[in-house]
Structure 1
Amino acid sequence: MITRKVRKWEKLPGKNTFCCDGRVMMARQKGVFYLTLFLIVGTCSLFFAFECPYLAVHLSPAIPVFAALLFLFVIAMLLRTSFSDPGVLPRALPEEATFIEMEIEAANGNVPTGQRPPPRIRNVQINNQIVKLKYCYTCKIFRPPRASHCSICDNCVDRFDHHCPWVGNCVGKRNYRFFYMFTLSLSLLTIYIFTFDIIHVVMRKYPVSHLSNQKEQTCRRIVLVCFFTLWSVVGLTGFHTYLISLNQTTNEDIKGSWSGKNRVQNPYSHKNIIKNCCEVLCGPVYPSVLDRRGLMQEDSSVSATSAAPSSFSSSNPVSQTTKTTAPLIPNEHTPDDAKPSIAASAETSAPPKDEVPPAPKVPPLASPETDAEASIVKDKAH
């Protein structure tokens, strides 16, 4: 058995991918994230290359400076949302899962054959409101309030909002505020670029000698891209602003968890827009419970029969000149050429320390042949 230390992120279940020794955590489907990064960087690069030089000279040099700061903030919020742990909950250990299963079986009793077992639900009270905790059959845990299992990442996420392919990660408890700041800053950047593109198009009517036709066509393309992007990004920001004011998630809004039916109200709302916004956007950033960069020991067995005899003998030079006297495998006979001779064993063996040395031999009075004949005569006489 060989024991080696590995990082915990290498053994974490689920469908997430890790980079930079576990510091970066993302979903496996990252193609749309690269598209998002390409659209933002490409559009801003065209704006800085073709629009900003003209606007800085004819309007104000502060226009490209503010655009650059806003662009850097958008990229920082995008990477912060995409590379962080959204709030993944660790799965139950085998011992914990067995204990939970025993508790559920003891509570439900014996279910008759052919009948569906009752749902695995626990009730907790939050702000005088009963909230049901559902059991996750994959993670073997009762999910905390507002948590849900993401089918794409195959993990339970605390305060699960939704899985966003545009950022390549889930949006949950630990990165929701960064996701909202990303959508808000991207909306401002899109409006900013779209506004000054319109100004640039209007200023074309004036006789400007250095404004070529190629720059005019590029300006029109940027206006077209910003026009279609503006509605989707601004609409998404407005929708999440509405959810934040109610202290609600996208998952809860789609399922209608707090729609008011059966007198069920949102127990997490403070009935105040300012308090709800402060809790979601200004609350503490909770630490990750995964400990992905922690160390754990891994035992790996090495088979003795997998190594060839030639490689074993070459790696151990002493074994080439020394022969073993005991078999390597049980119930295996030692070959004759490996058995030591009797003389060699007699020479190498030494008497034990506690054994009394034998008495000196007394020379016989008669020869051995005479003694043998005398014993035969006595037997016949009897």
Structure 2
Amino acid sequence: MGVEWLLVCHGLVTAVVVVSFLCGRWPIFEGTFIQRIHHFLTFGAYDYFLRFVGAVFGHKCMDAVLSVEYYCCDRPNPLLQIVYIVIISVTYYFVAKSCFAYIPGYYLSGIHRYTSLLAVAVGILLFLLTSFSDPGTVNAENVSNYISAYPYDNIIYSEKECSTCKIPKPARSKHCSICDRCVARFDHHCGWMNNCIGEKNTRYFMAFLLWHFLICLYGTVAIGLVLAGRLRELRVVDILTVYYGIENSFLDLAPNIVQWLLGSYNTQILLMVFLAIIGMLLAGFFGYHAKLCITNTTTNETFKWQDYIEWQRKLREAKVSAEALKQSIDGIRSEKQPSSSKWRAFFKKSPLEDVVIVKNNVYDKGFFHNILEVISPFSARWSFTQNKLKSR
């Protein structure tokens, strides 16, 4: 029983670490131990490590560590791409080694040996397509076309020049400091892809997220069916009820079946839990980006809108405060002004109450148009190409 509990504890700790690392900054975890674990994993542990290196080995070693950090975090590098290939390859290897011996089985046919390999191959293909495709690089040749495709809204985007590329900066674009290029309809720089996610490859990125969620769901269900098949083939329920006298009810059988599964198929259960956790994270990430696509917004623009709304709110509060101060001064000066009812003053809305600032996203042109813009970006359309030829 000690081994089973050790496996359960290992799975729970792994789940907490993975969720904390990937989702610790989500608003739902604010102020919780998940956020504190995330801070320790992403900042605290590294800060303590730097101090330790500086105190024990001196500043030269600390400078060497900082150089490695600069290469890994601030420059294009294939480290996370390699990590992805290792994770998906090792996971598939363990799934094949631990589960293929029971396929075909009671619930699964032999075709799943090949469909699983095909699913992983398609996932790797989408990964390569997203990683090595052009995200929509803005240069002197196509900048006028992108300016026509994405007009300035004069709210969060106004006419300006990229200080690095020295070309006009189209609306919705951003100069990526890691890739050192301007990217049209910039969403974010993805370290896993070693590439920016922009106007041209958002569709590949969304397909990558959706497909890998489906792979994790498929793997979780398939392993669950393998274990359920083993229960039927080995007649575990009959053995527990007939030979061990356990009552044939869910509450009595479940603990014994779980104990038997953890003792006999612990590798399969760990793989199933791992795939389920990664699948839930991918589902959340895909849902977030799907919402952005439906509203024709990017990750970069969500921060810009937050800054704009906060600035508008502070500006509105300052104007209301100034108006309230002016009215109070006028009230003091006006001696003949009749006193208002106390009940009316009690129920009167305070001028300092927050006023709702409406986000006016001019790029949101409706559900179908927004989806079409992701599936068929402007730069892939015939009109964009014709404008590019005319500009020459």
Alignment pair present for 1:229 and 2:324:
no
Is the contact made by 1:258 and 1:264 (CA closer than 8 Å) also made in structure 2?
no
Q: Aligned-pair RMSD on alpha carbons?
A: 3.6
The 2-side partners of 1:57 and 1:123 are apart by: 59
Distance 1:233 1:191, change over 3 A: same
Is the contact made by 2:151 and 2:170 (CA closer than 8 Å) also made in structure 1?
no
Alignment pair present for 1:246 and 2:295:
yes
Specify the alignment match of 1:266 in structure 2: 361
SS at match of 1:134: coil
Alignment pair present for 1:193 and 2:242:
no
Specify the alignment match of 2:380 in structure 1: 286
The 2-side partners of 1:227 and 1:169 are apart by: 27
The partner residue of 2:208 within 182, 190, 195 is 182
Amino acid at match of 2:218: Y
Is the contact made by 1:147 and 1:160 (CA closer than 8 Å) also made in structure 2?
yes
SS at match of 2:137: coil
- Equivalent residues in 2 for 1:346-357 (5 A)? none
The 1-side partners of 2:159 and 2:359 are apart by: 15
Point out the structure with max Rg over C-alpha. Answer: 1
- Cα displacement string for residues 150-194 of structure 1 (whole angstroms, at most 9, x for unaligned residues): 121122111111001111111111211111100110000011101
Number of residues of Structure 1 aligned to a counterpart in Structure 2: 232
Same amino acid, percent of matched pairs? 28
The partner residue of 2:165 within 139, 145, 154 is 139
SS at match of 1:132: coil
The 2-side partners of 1:71 and 1:125 are apart by: 37
The 2-side partners of 1:284 and 1:223 are apart by: 41
Higher share in helix: 2
The 1-side partners of 2:229 and 2:190 are apart by: 39
The 2-side partners of 1:124 and 1:182 are apart by: 26
Poorly superposed stretches of 4+, deviation over 4 Å: 122-125, 127-131, 211-215, 257-264
The 2-side partners of 1:254 and 1:167 are apart by: 22
Gaps of 5+ in 2: 1-70, 142-146, 236-259, 313-356, 385-392
Amino acid at match of 2:305: G
Specify the alignment match of 2:131 in structure 1: 82
Is the contact made by 1:85 and 1:174 (CA closer than 8 Å) also made in structure 2?
yes
SS at match of 1:170: strand
Higher share in strand: 1
Gaps of 5+ in 1: 1-16, 18-26, 93-121, 290-382
- Cα displacement string for residues 65-116 of structure 1 (whole angstroms, at most 9, x for unaligned residues): 3322221211111001111221222379xxxxxxxxxxxxxxxxxxxxxxxx
TM-score, normalised by the number of residues in structure 1: 0.53
- Cα displacement string for residues 331-351 of structure 1 (whole angstroms, at most 9, x for unaligned residues): xxxxxxxxxxxxxxxxxxxxx
Range moving further from structure 2, 122-131 or 31-40: 122-131
SS at match of 1:149: strand
Is the contact made by 2:150 and 2:172 (CA closer than 8 Å) also made in structure 1?
no
Greater length-normalized contact order (CA 8 Å, ≥ 6 residues apart):
1
Specify the alignment match of 1:275 in structure 2: 369
Distance 1:29 1:215, change over 3 A: farther
The 1-side partners of 2:132 and 2:278 are apart by: 24
The 2-side partners of 1:229 and 1:80 are apart by: 21
SS at match of 1:56: coil
Is the contact made by 1:81 and 1:175 (CA closer than 8 Å) also made in structure 2?
yes
Specify the alignment match of 1:219 in structure 2: 268
SS at match of 2:161: strand
Distance 1:195 1:123, change over 3 A: closer
